[in-house]
Amino acid sequence: MEVSVIRSCSQATNPKTELGFSDSRFSFGKFNEKLFSRKPNSVSFESPLRRGKSGLRITAQAAQSDRLPKSKSSTKSKTLNRIRLFAGLPLDVVSGGTVNQFRAISAGLKALKLLGLEGVELPIWWGVVEHESMGKYNWSGYLTIAEMVRKAGLKLNVTLCFHASSQPKIPLPEWVLDIGKTKSNIFFKDRAGKPYRGCLSLAVDELAVLNGKTPMEVYQDFCESFKSAFSAFIGSTITGITMGLGPDGELRYPSHRGFAKSGTVPGAGEFQCYDKNMLHLLKQHAEACGKPKWGLGGPHNAPAYSELPTANTFFKDHGGSWESPYGDFFLSWYSSQLIAHGDRLLSLASSVFSDSAVNIFGKVPLMHSWHGTRSHPSELTAGFYNTATRKGYKEVAEMFARNSCKIILPGMDQSDKYQLKESLSSPELLLAEIGTACNKHGVRISGQNSTVGAPDGLKQIKKNMLSENLNDSFIFQRIGAQFFAPEHFPLFIEFVRKLNQPEPHSGNLPTKEGTTTATDSVHTRSNLSIHMQSA
Amino acid sequence: MAAVTIDSLLQNPTLLFRPKAKVMLKPPRSLDCSRNRKLPLSRGSCFCSFNPRRTIHVVRASSSETALIGNFDTSSSDDIFYKDIFPVKRIEKVEGKFFIRLDRSKDQHDWQLTVGCSLPGKWILHWGVSYLGDSGSEWDQPPKGMRPPGSIPIKDYAIETPLKKLSEGDIFHEVKIDFNPSSEIAAIHFVLKDEETGAWYQHRGMDFKVPLVDYLEDDGNTVGAKRGFGVLSGALQQFSNVLLKSEASHADSQNNSIESKDSKNKNRCLEGFYEEQSIVKEVSVGNLVSVAVRKSPETGKVIVCLETDIPGDVVVHWGVCRDDAKIWEIPAAPYPPETTVFKNKALRTLLQPKATGNRSGALFTLDEEHFGFLFVLKLDDNTWLKFKENDFYVPLLGTSSVPGQYGQSDITTEEISSKSYTDGIINEIRNLVSGLSSEKSQKTKTKEVQESILQEIEQLAAEAYSIFRSSITTVPEEVVSETETTKPAVKISSGTGTGFEILCQGFNWESHKSGRWYMELKEKASEISSLGFTVIWLPPPTESVSPEGYMPKDLYNLNSRYGTIAELKELVKSLHEVGMKVLGDVVLNHRCAHFKNQNGVWNIFGGRLNWDDRAVVADDPHFQGRGNKSSGDNFHAAPNIDHSQEFVRKDLKEWLGWLREEIGYDGWRLDFVRGFWGGYVKDYLEASEPYFAVGEYWDSLSYTYGEMDHNQDSHRQRIVDWINATNGTAGAFDVTTKGILHSALERCEYWRLSDKKGKPPGVVGWWPSRAVTFIENHDTGSTQGHWRFPGGKEMQGYAYILTHPGTPAVFYDHIFSHHRSEIANLISVRNRNGIHCRSLVKIVKAERDVYAAIIDEKVAMKIGPGYYEPPSGSQRWSLALEGRDYKVWETS
């Protein structure tokens, strides 16, 4: 196929674009991005400069944004072109060092490549790699995947999962669980003292509870081992690393245990400050504040997991304890512990990978139920001190900005109209709030859909990715039978096309003289095709 | 002996339907027996090759994969550290006879040319004549009187006449052309075409020419020169014995003899002759070679297990290698039985037939230290099967030390092939289309590429889906219910309805005759509904050139031989009242024209949709369409609609919407969907949002030597491909199941009812929710009887489809016959036990004379004269129904 045919208008507007797609995209990108930024809130583009100690590169937008300047005449939907699309590989794609469903994965990768996706997301489990004993890593299956992805010409965003998965069942490493059998206080505990074995309590981050090492040290060793094992891929195939931050990899407390049955109103969730070490920290903090009595336990009048917020007085809309000085004391402490934990892990990742050309991500949950109340109980129990009267995501965004990390926001497929009325839930408002906080701090957002799925989800995703947030990429969760099913996959194809295609027909984009011969007939070619070229 | 050789290349007119065709954007190749080609004698040349598009076919291969591997020594399957299935393609030659006879017809006045062929296939004689004194070399249309019935004119120079079997028992398909020798016709020219494979059978690169008059005035040289051929095109001589004699001689000399004969041609008067030649059709056959490697825990040796379903003697030519260089070496003994050493370089082992199935295989026990196992397969002296021109290679290392080894080594072989393939695609993908709507400005070629890429993506997705799905079924139900994903209750989709539908075909081929079918059916509405049917399929409603309705003309005129539009509405209303959904039979593939164009060709439409010839596909010469080429097969009797035209699609969508709105149809039965791309169907269905839709994708099953193949995967794959192209928005009639039931019941070969994986062998085994199973319809049965279900065995057929997954359809004639109560009983068993289109079927017996299955662990059934009783285990089975050669039980 002749080159002339493939050149789309948008590309032709800037002859540099093709270079931008080569490996040198990063350097080109930054330059152009700053120079030609046209976003209304162009403050955001300062973010690349705001490097942390890590010196990470935060500018993956190069190739797309560098053709923005010339296309001023085009519409706002043009921004869609910047969204790099990933798809998550199955959670259990590797088990015991081997790749499951090898052929399916390999066919799937080819399909995704042909479809023009940027890459795939690969969950790497602590419980798989460091399964047997501390410091003994088995990367083999994951290396195979990385090689497959490389050969398919795709990029890889790796998620380091320091948590467990319930379905498919992927527990924490055996040796960690063994330690937990005797020392259950390495896990979060709820008011009833029931431990959560899905991840370690953030209170032990810096306590030497794992065979004389602290969890932070163990996480660090894991990252270092990963880095050396994948050195051939990092910066080339692997362009992003997501640091697992807690339950389901998200920065939060396991305030909701088990799954809410669909169609039922989720409860408020429970505070998770009852393991020995959390209680100890709380006590210390209370004493330091001169309120030793406040440090004896969590709020006594908070409802249980599945109870409605109104079942007790803590979250009451008016006059609830959350608004009291005690409430503020507790919630401030509770949320700051979480943010400090996130900070520890993200700065760890930043420093380990400081010399690698990768983006570091962390995932923040979308605790959208009860967002319509004043107290936002779900957010509070999960560790986000965000209420009708206090903007709580500011600190979170700051923390991400400090570490030059990007934020992953799940739940982009959720829309308000499909929420249960009774749950006073508003994913859209919450998303907008977090988005605003991120924009303010120049934190780029990578979207994800929720694992539960949502009606009209793809439409909602598109809408969200269109928003004025600093959208960076989208990770679609996840491939598998359902994903490729005839009921779903065609919709996904459609989605990809739409996401990458300027909605209003931007057929009359200016073209640069001499660079085009056949552009008029192919102007609707979008990123979809452009990605192909870069292969 | 092979005087005419045929390479049947799978040229594929339905370019967009089949993945194979995508690389073949070239025009169809017509091969011939040109002189330059080495004429294969016996199985001389080797056309075997590893399928280069391997990745695509894995879907198919994988479906049989587990079955093959499963047969390996299952006791120790845990130790298997490598296994792979190599799909291989080989060319199987089917030999037959082909004859040309010229003789006087009975009245001794006229003459008759008969051409016949004994090979199975859809044979078409593509022919024309030349007239005396013709200066040009072009063919002409023969006079009307000469054309046998069923002939179709091709442009202005040729006729296509199908070869037919005169009676069932006949070996030959033949065609007879009567002509008057005193006419001006100088010669009859023809080539033979196999519509099934698209291959052209010519004579040495030219047409066959039967001269009817003296050749002197039109001597070889002149004709040859005019036609641009070195030699005169008239190859066939009047003397039958020439070729018969030469059959025994060498091919080259045979050619010579013909040529010399050409030049010696001096006959002045017409003489009868009979000429018979061998004809070889090369059918490409897919087989699998499966290899598994395991380590024997006792001896520490490595055991390579090789198995294949290639019939006949298969010799493995094998060796081992020490490293990546893959240099062949002979390993130490012991060797498997029937092993010989070949020139100190390799070993040759004859595969031993397996006890079960028609497979053969061998076990190779090797020392641990070998790096790899190399082999090629030898089918006979000249036929070798290789892996893409290379040796098959099986890595032997990786037993314990490097866990990732298998995966990685596997990639290197597989990825390389796919990489180069992907690269090729990527070169073209740049034009990936961004939606049907924006296609119109594209050149057709770009569009094809785009569509093929999309299809490619869909194929890959389908492959991934099938593998993921198959592994999901092992997850116990309760685990799923615990997960966050809660399945929506009953979801209605156009491909399946609720999933519990039972279809009634509400007419037969004669229904138009009374002129008031709608009214007659209306009286039966409640009766049909009470039998348990949920959906009824009504006859095509439009004005039609043929009374049955399948030659539509004005789509908006719904007054037909079945009744008026008012009556139709009344009928639909009554059917709705009794709780049935109504399917309209819509003919979208073709439409009869109202007017002739300036050339006198009927291709201008009237009525509300007054399209011109741009709405007609360009590749059907009869109708001189100015549209694009057809995206499917052509239906020759009427102008085929070009669905790539946006205005056509828009009009058709509007029409379907109107039918939904105005008449109240709930869904569609789509006629002859082979004729156009399934993607358009998707478009139509999305626009008309039917409750249920089913397409008629009817093509022939695979036969070898007139006997139906056990494996009909390629047949059902074509149907599945079509469903896939519609994105699953439509189901399709499960023609595969009907065909297999024919053979199974007629010949008492009930083993056919289980495929290699132990699943139903029809579409219903692969995509049950989209399979509409049936045993008869207005074409196959009724008064047409094109493909009638074995007589007296209909109830066995219904016992099968009404207990199995899929959406069963019952033919009108069977409902209103003595079968009625039995059918009603089967339907009530189905409904009572909640069997639906996705029910799980476990085949418990598939033997010569009996087939038995248990469905959803609630219903057991058997058909066939053989014995079967459901197991007396934890479930208590009680007999629910019994009839001639079938029984159905349910749990009590």
- Residue ranges per structural domain of chain A: 82-254+266-498
Least confident of A354-363, A502-511, B150-159: A502-511
Res A533 pLDDT > 70? no
- What string of DSSP letters covers B545-610? SSTTS-SB--TT---BTTB-HHHHHHHHHHHHHTT-EEEEEE--SB---SEE-TTS-EEE--SSS-
In this structure, is the dihedral angle defined by the CA atoms of residues A433, A436, A441 and A445, taken in order, positive or negative?
positive
Nearest residue in B to A489, CA atom:
B461
Q: Model confidence over B18-37: pLDDT tens digits?
A: 333 333 333 333 333 333 33
Q: How far A326 CA sits from the closest chain B CA (Å)?
A: 35
Give the mean pLDDT of B322-344: 81
Res A348 pLDDT > 90? yes
Q: Model confidence over B47-69: pLDDT tens digits?
A: 333 333 333 333 333 333 333 33
Res A383 pLDDT > 90? yes
- What string of DSSP letters covers A108-152? HHHHHHHHT--EEEEEEEHHHHT-SSTT----HHHHHHHHHHHHT
Look up residue B464 and give its two tokens: 């991934």
C-alpha–C-alpha distance, residues A462 and A493, integer Å: 13
Q: Is B721 on the interface with A (CB under 8 A)?
A: no
The dihedral over CA atoms of A377, A380, A385, A387, expressed in degrees to the nearest 10, equals 0
- What string of DSSP letters covers B669-738? EES-GGGS-HHHHHHHHHHH--SEEEE----PPPEETTEE-S--HHHHHHHHHHHHHTTTSSEEE-HHHH
Q: Is B467 on the interface with A (CB under 8 A)?
A: yes
Inter-helix orientation angle A457-466/A489-500, to 10°: 20
Say if residue B196 is in the same domain as residue B167: yes
Say if residue B202 is in the same domain as residue B336: no
Q: How far A127 CA sits from the closest chain B CA (Å)?
A: 17
Predicted pLDDT at B136? 57
Mean pLDDT, rounded, of chain A: 77
Of the three residues B366, B395, B424, the one that is the final residue of a domain is: B395
For residue B526, which of B571, B588, B586, B471 has the smallest C-alpha distance? B571
Domain-embedded: residue B892? no
Predicted pLDDT at A203? 93
Please list every residue in chain A whose beta carbon sits closer than 8 Å to the beta carbon of residue B456.
114
In this structure, is the dihedral angle defined by the CA atoms of residues B234, B238, B244 and B250, taken in order, positive or negative?
negative
C-alpha–C-alpha distance, residues B127 and B207, integer Å: 9
ipTM exceeding cut-off 0.90 for this assembly: no
Q: How far apart are the first and last CA of chain B?
A: 66
Contact B411 A453 (CB under 8 A): no
Give the mean pLDDT of B89-110: 75
Res A461 pLDDT > 90? no
Say if residue B182 is in the same domain as residue B310: no
C-alpha–C-alpha distance, residues B372 and B346, integer Å: 14
Of the three residues B395, B417, B437, the one that is the final residue of a domain is: B395
Mean pLDDT, rounded, of chain B: 73
Residue B542: domain span: 503-589+646-840
Predicted pLDDT at A27? 34
Is residue B696 part of the annotated active site? The answer reads yes
**Which of B412, B430, B479, B487 to substitute to test the interface with A, most A CBs within 10 Å?**
B430
Predicted pLDDT at B41? 35
In this structure, is the dihedral angle defined by the CA atoms of residues B322, B326, B327 and B332, taken in order, positive or negative?
positive
Higher pLDDT, A269 or B106: A269
Domain-embedded: residue B80? no
Of the three residues B345, B364, B395, the one that is the final residue of a domain is: B395
The beta-carbon neighbor of B457 closest among A90, A114, A148 is A114
- What are the backbone angles phi and psi of residue B844, rounded to the nearest 5°? -105, -20
CATH classification at residue B189: 2.60.40
**pLDDT band at residue B619, thresholds of 50, 70 and 90?**
confident
Q: Model confidence over A498-522: pLDDT tens digits?
A: 776 554 443 333 333 333 333 333 3
Q: Which residues pair with B274 in a beta bridge?
A: B101
**Which of B56, B402, B422, B434 to substitute to test the interface with A, most A CBs within 10 Å?**
B434
Predicted pLDDT at A501? 59
- Tracing tokens 């209103």 back to the chain, one arrives at B816
**Which of A2, A7, A106 to substitute to test the interface with B, most B CBs within 10 Å?**
A106
Q: Are the CB atoms for B653 and B687 separated by under 8 Å? A: yes
The strand pair at B80-104 and B49-50 is best described as: antiparallel
In this structure, is the dihedral angle defined by the CA atoms of residues B762, B765, B767 and B772, taken in order, positive or negative?
positive
Predicted pLDDT at B206? 65
Predicted pLDDT at A263? 61
The beta-carbon neighbor of A144 closest among B404, B464, B724 is B404
Q: How far B402 CA sits from the closest chain A CA (Å)?
A: 8
| Burial B677-688, CB ≥16 within 10 A → b, else e | bbbbbbbbbebb
C-alpha–C-alpha distance, residues B486 and B480, integer Å: 8
Say if residue B657 is in the same domain as residue B792: yes
**pLDDT band at residue B107, thresholds of 50, 70 and 90?**
low
Q: SS3 of B45, please?
A: coil
Contact B465 A486 (CB under 8 A): yes
Instruction: Count chain A–chain B contacts defined by CB atoms under 8 A.
Output: 173
Q: Model confidence over B700-737: pLDDT tens digits?
A: 887 777 778 888 888 888 898 888 888 888 899 999 99
Least confident of A203-212, B111-120, B220-229, B504-513: B220-229
Look up residue A63 and give its two tokens: 């190739």
Least confident of A428-432, B463-467, B569-573, B654-658: B463-467
Q: How far apart are the first and last CA of chain A?
A: 15
CATH classification at residue B699: 3.20.20.80
Query: What is the residue type of A175?
Result: W
Give the mean pLDDT of B2-6: 36
Res A136 pLDDT > 80? yes
What predicted TM-score, i.e. pTM, was given to this entire model?
A: 0.43
**pLDDT band at residue A231, thresholds of 50, 70 and 90?**
very high
Predicted pLDDT at A417? 81
In this structure, is the dihedral angle defined by the CA atoms of residues B737, B739, B745 and B747, taken in order, positive or negative?
negative
Q: Which residues pair with B167 in a beta bridge?
A: none
**B351-358 LR contacts (CB < 8 Å, sep 24+):** B351/B306, B351/B307, B351/B308, B351/B313, B351/B314, B351/B315, B351/B316, B354/B71, B354/B307, B356/B71, B357/B71, B357/B309, B358/B309, B358/B311
Q: How far B467 CA sits from the closest chain A CA (Å)?
A: 6
Q: Is B474 on the interface with A (CB under 8 A)?
A: no
C-alpha–C-alpha distance, residues B603 and A161, integer Å: 65
Q: Model confidence over B171-211: pLDDT tens digits?
A: 778 888 887 777 777 788 888 877 766 667 766 556 777 77
Higher pLDDT, B419 or A489: A489
List the catalytic residue out of B548, B567, B696, B749: B696
Q: Which residues pair with B886 in a beta bridge?
A: B863, B883
Least confident of A431-435, A487-491, B446-450: B446-450
In this structure, is the dihedral angle defined by the CA atoms of residues B814, B820, B824 and B830, taken in order, positive or negative?
negative
List the catalytic residue out of B196, B307, B448, B671: B671
C-alpha–C-alpha distance, residues B860 and B84, integer Å: 36
Say if residue B303 is in the same domain as residue B274: no
Q: Is A525 on the interface with B (CB under 8 A)?
A: yes
Q: Model confidence over B736-793: pLDDT tens digits?
A: 999 999 999 988 999 999 988 888 999 998 888 889 999 999 988 888 888 889 988 9
Domain-embedded: residue B540? yes
C-alpha–C-alpha distance, residues B246 and A424, integer Å: 92
Q: Measured at the alpha carbon of residue B499, what is the angle toward residues B498 and B505, in degrees to the nearest 5?
A: 95
Say if residue B274 is in the same domain as residue B347: no
Q: How far A115 CA sits from the closest chain B CA (Å)?
A: 7
Q: Model confidence over B429-479: pLDDT tens digits?
A: 333 333 333 333 444 556 566 677 877 887 788 778 877 776 654 333 333
C-alpha–C-alpha distance, residues B439 and B631, integer Å: 15
C-alpha–C-alpha distance, residues B294 and B304, integer Å: 7
Q: Model confidence over B211-265: pLDDT tens digits?
A: 776 543 443 333 233 333 223 333 333 333 333 333 333 333 333 333 333 333 4
**pLDDT band at residue A253, thresholds of 50, 70 and 90?**
very high
Higher pLDDT, B6 or A136: A136
In this structure, is the dihedral angle defined by the CA atoms of residues B25, B28, B31 and B34, taken in order, positive or negative?
negative
Q: Are the CB atoms for B696 and B670 separated by under 8 Å? A: yes
Say if residue B709 is in the same domain as residue B580: yes
Domain count, chain B: 3
The strand pair at B185-194 and B123-131 is best described as: antiparallel
Res B302 pLDDT > 80? yes
For residue A285, which of A294, A276, A277 has the smallest C-alpha distance? A294
Q: Is B490 on the interface with A (CB under 8 A)?
A: no
Q: Which residues pair with A474 in a beta bridge?
A: A85, A447
For residue B730, which of B671, B665, B650 has the smallest C-alpha distance? B671
Say if residue B808 is in the same domain as residue B675: yes
SS (H, E, C) B496-514: CECCCCCEEECCCCCHHHH
For residue A139, which of B569, B843, B516, B408 has the smallest C-alpha distance? B408
Give the mean pLDDT of A461-478: 81
For residue B801, which of B776, B832, B833 has the smallest C-alpha distance? B776
Which of the listed CATH numbers 3.40.1190.20, 1.20.1260.10, 1.10.3210.10, 3.20.20.80 matches domain A82-254+266-498? 3.20.20.80
